Every structure is written in structure tokens, then in C-alpha cells.
Amino acid sequence: MKFAVFTVSVPEWDPAHAAEEIAAAGYDGVEWRVTDQAASPDGRPGFWAGNRCTWPASSLAENIPAIKKITADARLQMPALGTYLAPGDLEAIDAAMVAAKELGVPQLRVSSGGYDTSQSVAGQWNARRAQYGEVAKLAARHGVRANIEIHHRQLTPSPHAAAAFLEGLDPSHVGVIHDVGNMIWEGWTEYRLGLEALGPYLAHVQVKNGSTVPAGTRSDGTVEWKNTQLPLREGFADIPLLLQALDQVGYEGWVSVEDFSSLGGQTRTERIAANLQYLRESAPSRQ
């Protein structure tokens, strides 16, 4: 396995500085965040708004030389592009795939789409599956792979749902991002069971950790719960067990870290180094 940092999780750093830090920590690669984002409401860089380590999707083509240089100068690889693409936006998907091909990046993220609770599941499922058939054709044309993500509040919150969504499509053109952190909140599946369900569709792995905590109590005594992010060692997900399961199914690809938890007393530099140390300590050794 090789380890990377998804730059959504290093919002304070610009790309050049991030690449230097990620390389100095000992990672093998960087997964660049690519999206046209909103400004931070308070002016401070955040994970999902005002993130300084994000390449705008609208100017991705123009930034290809800079991305190549920054990544090469740090001697990092690019396992995937962290794009935010809807399955029906074929024009944007096509442009991102062209850029990925030119960058030498083999895969990128194209969502299965959010789940609308006011509409029938079957209708949404069939419509998105049809859209993803067109996504697969684009991926085949450009020689890249489009990956859906296992994600709560989407149509594919579990490995089995993700595998069913892609059924019948060529796994050399489409795949699945296994995200153990997202499955804490919806779609939790025993790790090896889920990985084997994905089979050839297992394309990429992202790791983060978290839990659920009480958020309040209603007048009738019902306890409400909310999601919370935690460091890799502290959350509900058993990261060493996940790495063991990945090894058991023969996974030799990338594990990309997106740690959204509070830094506590650490600096961002210390945190990414500690995360890599934990992953390497936890990964099964092959003699």
C-alpha cells in the first residue's frame, strides 16, 4: 500500500507548501482537491470553504503546468483527483478527465449523487445509473477511471450499494472509493465483507475517523445525536483492522488521508506526520 494526503484536510497551506510538507512527512503521494469553492465566511481557511489547498475546477486546464511542477518538485505521485462532480454534468466530467489524462492521474471522483428523501429511491437509482453509464463511456474514451464514493446521505452509503450501483459497468472504467469514516454514520459494513463485495470495483481508499455524540434531548425524552470528527486513533473506525482486511483481499493501491478532526495541541505538520506513522505501524508487514 502507498499513502497520500487528500488536500481538503490541509486547508491552511497553499499547494506548493502542502507538497513540501507532505513529502517531508514521508508520504508517497498527494490527492489534490479540485473544485470551485465558496469563500470562507469568517475569512479563515476551512476544509470546505476558503481552502487554500484547492485547485479551481474552472481553471484546472490552465493550472496543469503548475500542478505538474509542484508535484514533481516534491517527488510525489498523484493517485487520484479529488473532484466534486455530479454524474449528470457530462461537460464538466469530460473536462476533468481531459485534465486528469494530461496530468497522468489515473482516476477521479464522480459522485453517485445525493439521496432525496422526498422522492422514490427506484426513480433516483435508475436515473443515476443511466447517467453513470454515460460517465463510464467518457472514462473509456479518455483512459481514466471514474470513482463513486461510499458516502452517507448519498445513493451509495455502503459497499454493497456501491457495487450494485456499478453492476454491469466495466471496472476498468469505473470504481469505488472505500471511505471507512463515512460508513461510521451510514452504511457500516464489516471491513472484509465490504471489500469482497466490491471486488474489482475497489479502486481507492480514503481514511478518516469519527463517532456520534449526543446533541440534545427532545421534550419527549428522545436523545438526538450528531456526527463528530476525531483523530485516526480515537474514532469508531478500527483503522488497523481495515488495513488488515485490505491486505487480506490483496489490495495494493493507495490509502489517502482526509483528517477533519481538531488539531488539539498539534500543528498541521505534526498531525500529518503522526497520521502516517500510525498507518505504517498499523499496516500488515509482508515478509
Rounded to an integer, what distance in angstroms lies between the CA atom of residue 177 and that of residue 171?
12
0.85 cut: is pTM over it?
Answer: yes
The percent of residues above 70 in pLDDT, for the chain, comes to 99
Mean pLDDT over all residues of the chain?
A: 98
Q: What is the pLDDT averaged over residues 72-97?
A: 99
pLDDT (0 to 100) of residue 287: 42
pLDDT (0 to 100) of residue 286: 56
Residue 287 falls within a domain, yes or no?
no
Per-residue model confidence as pLDDT tens digits over 139-193: 999 999 999 999 999 999 999 999 999 999 999 999 999 999 999 999 999 999 9
Per-residue model confidence as pLDDT tens digits over 255-283: 999 999 999 999 999 999 999 999 999 99
Rounded to an integer, what distance in angstroms lies between the CA atom of residue 272 and that of residue 251?
23
Residue 183 falls within a domain, yes or no?
yes
Question: CATH number of the domain that 236 lies in?
Answer: 3.20.20.150
Residue 130 falls within a domain, yes or no?
yes
Domain count, the chain: 1
C-alpha cell at 89: 454534468
User: What domain range includes position 75?
Assistant: 2-282
Burial-class residue 220 by CB neighbours within 10 Å (0-12, 13-18, 19+): exposed
Does an H or E element contain 155, and which? none
Q: Position 195: which residue type?
A: L
Q: What is the pLDDT averaged over residues 69-75?
A: 99
pLDDT (0 to 100) of residue 120: 96
Q: What is the pLDDT averaged over residues 26-30?
A: 99
Per-residue model confidence as pLDDT tens digits over 217-259: 999 999 999 999 999 999 999 999 999 999 999 999 999 999 9
pLDDT (0 to 100) of residue 285: 78
pLDDT (0 to 100) of residue 47: 97
Residue 125 falls within a domain, yes or no?
yes
